[in-house]
Amino acid sequence: MIKVSIIGASGYSGIYLIYALSLRPDVAISAITSQTYSGKKLSEVFPQFTKTGHKHNLASELEFSSFDAAAVAESSDVIFFCLPHNESSKLIPDILKKNGKIKIIDVGADFRFDRLETYEEFYGKHNAPELNQKFVYGLSDIFSDKIKNSQFTANPGCYPTGALLPILPLIFKSAVDAAFPVIIDSLSGISGAGRGIKLQNLFCEVENSVKAYNVWSHRHLPEIQEKAAGAFLNSGGKSDNNLPDILFTPHVIPVSRGILTTIYIKLNSGISQENIMEAYKEFYSGSPFVSILKNIEDCNIKNVVYSNNCHIAFEAGKKQNKGMIKIVSAIDNLGKGASLQAIQNMNLMFGLEPNCGIPEYSPFP
């Protein structure tokens, strides 16, 4: 039995973790914390957890509590942190003083970057720099070997997950022409903004509309850049100066969840569509969650929401666009982009199959 605590459990990521983990007979949820709802039953705040009918689901009996480092350290084998940036890094050191062997999965941004300077440029002063290098980047389907041997995993952002899964195999295979920019356009459901009340996220503001935002300053861009640069250097690139520029534009679309990403890449000379397919098959042959589709129009968020799946499809350019490739990926921002990938990481960290206990599909809000 794996004993789990979820810190910051009343946000979208935390609630989806509770749902998915409460279905598992091999998991016991020890604690769920929330500053807002401390002392209240989960089913009181979220009535969908009232007598769900699942055989192993005891979630209706759970109660939100305030954070207590000693209590969660003593009662947990692994702790999920679902907090805003700069918050988990304040709490983790105290937990490790109580239990130095406990496993940590941070769903937030605090430990995603190799370079602290990059993190601090976009998120502010880091609270636990001494821990940063101990965390493995939790892009499960590419870095599974490192995650298996790690005590600490930093879950990727949702936009980077949708962008890096299609891009990294091509960079590792030296297929990308560094002389041309990689262009990434991503469209996300409104749940990506979290449960906080914001005027721009109200139904009347987003209905029947699509908008770009933070077009030059989104915090997920440096995350994509850093991981792409690492892949480029590992593939034989001489320096970051030879890495292609990455242009990333996020958009909000009037759906609750899902991310559709379109990527434009100039290929190195001699790279064919068959070479691209071979690269994807090689990288994802052991992954139960990444699928390469033949028809690019089948790659849409409707087919992946409420799942941990990533669908990828591509088409190489012809005639005047020869040497170019367009890639489309689709994920659920709350599933593959957050909670379900976090559970995949937990499975790897505990020596389980990556798809152990992850719902294939569940229409849960």
Active site residues: 158
DSSP string covering 119-141, please? HHHHH---S-HHHHTTEEE--TT
Name the CA radius of gyration of the chain, rounded.
20
Residues 170, 314, 300, 195: what is their CA dihedral angle, to the nearest 10 degrees?
Answer: 30
Other Cβ atoms closer than 10 A to 194? 13
Burial classification of residue 195, based on how many CB atoms lie within 10 Å of its CB (0-12 exposed, 13-18 middle, 19 or more buried): middle
Q: Are strands 135-137 and 182-188 parallel, antiparallel or unpaired?
A: unpaired
Q: Provide CB contacts within 8 A for 5, sequence distance 6+.
A: 29, 30, 31, 32, 33, 72, 75, 76, 78, 79, 80
Other Cβ atoms closer than 10 A to 239? 9
